[in-house]
Structure 1
Amino acid sequence: MTEKLFCDLPAGDKHLREECISGEDIYGGIFLHMKRDQVRLPDGQQAVREYLTHPGAVAVLAILDDGRVLLERQYRYPIAKTCIEIPAGKLEIGEDHLLCAQRELEEETGYTAKKWSYIRRIHPVISYSTELIDIYLAEDLVPGKSKLDDEEFLDVFAAPLEQLIAWVEGGEITDVKTTISAYWLDRYRKGLVKPHSIK
């Protein structure tokens, strides 16, 4: 008997959807805004949903010619920890996502890339934020000088994929975009996935 590997999803999602009845803004920050909505649940009952709206972001999985991954160490105030991450940054309103990725890579690391591919979109905190992150693959890197913002402090370094995965599995890396990118790159090098080419 062959074991079933995938579950059968029910058709449609109408029985799961929540409908907004009313909403209010409860906080407006520099780029994060907190909203509170009254929603109607699938069974007709009502509930409250609070969430942050976020302009979105990009992340860059940049690969050096020797195969190492370009990384950063940056202090993240909300969790009071210096984190290892791939380069990333938030989108300006209306900004093209690829252009943002190219800008962030150069500003933070000094590198530009001759070859760009699209990996995928992720939603890192689906329970309370609209944030999305589009992840790009950058190859054929050319070194240059970084252009950090006045309030930005970080170390730029490189590590082999095996070390990156070891840091993820050992709990040293907890950042979701970096974790997903590490496992994607491992599958990519095994020929199991491919990026989407950009023309």
Structure 2
Amino acid sequence: MNDQNARPLWALAAGLGLAVVVVVLIKAGPLLHPPLGERAPLNPDCDLLHEACRVRFADGGEVRLAIEPRGIPAVRPLQLEVRLMHLPTPEQVEIDFQGVDMNMGFNRARLQPVSVGAGADSGAAASASADADADANIEHWHGQGMLPVCVRARMTWEAQVLLHYPGGSRAAPFRFVSQRPN
């Protein structure tokens, strides 16, 4: 086969390859960015760098997020803790970290449920804590995440807690500003 006969075949192969890539991206879109049924309003009084914060959905359900270590440094493991109050049990809980003013890529941590009564407490204290959580309809989830390095000395982030349910997802947004050490 000569070069002139091979060109149409190469063009056809390239077109088919491009079509496969487009189909994969279209099919993967909902997995990376699930449709949201509801987004809670941002709590402007929250300072996630110094304390755990809460946001409330219209139906009264609350999401509390705590991140350790305080100050939320980049490129260090972060301990993530989410407590859900007066919300149905989700199939999955994730935290999606997004740069507000700069795209920092896909950065999502999947959390694991904490068994009632599990944790560092022991004996009567753990039992009392588990009873209090059960009475208040509180679920506890935890995991690890990490912020990537940023070229900016100061970066505004949104940590969006994603609650995945069979009928759709709910999002609880939390904003904070990270500072690069000098």
Could you state the TM-score of these two structures normalised by the residue count of structure 2?
Answer: 0.24
Could you state the TM-score of these two structures normalised by the residue count of structure 1?
Answer: 0.23
- Return the structure number with greater relative CO, CA threshold 8 A, min gap 6: 2
**Structure with the bigger percentage of helix:** 2
- Which protein has the larger Cα radius of gyration, Structure 1 or Structure 2? 2
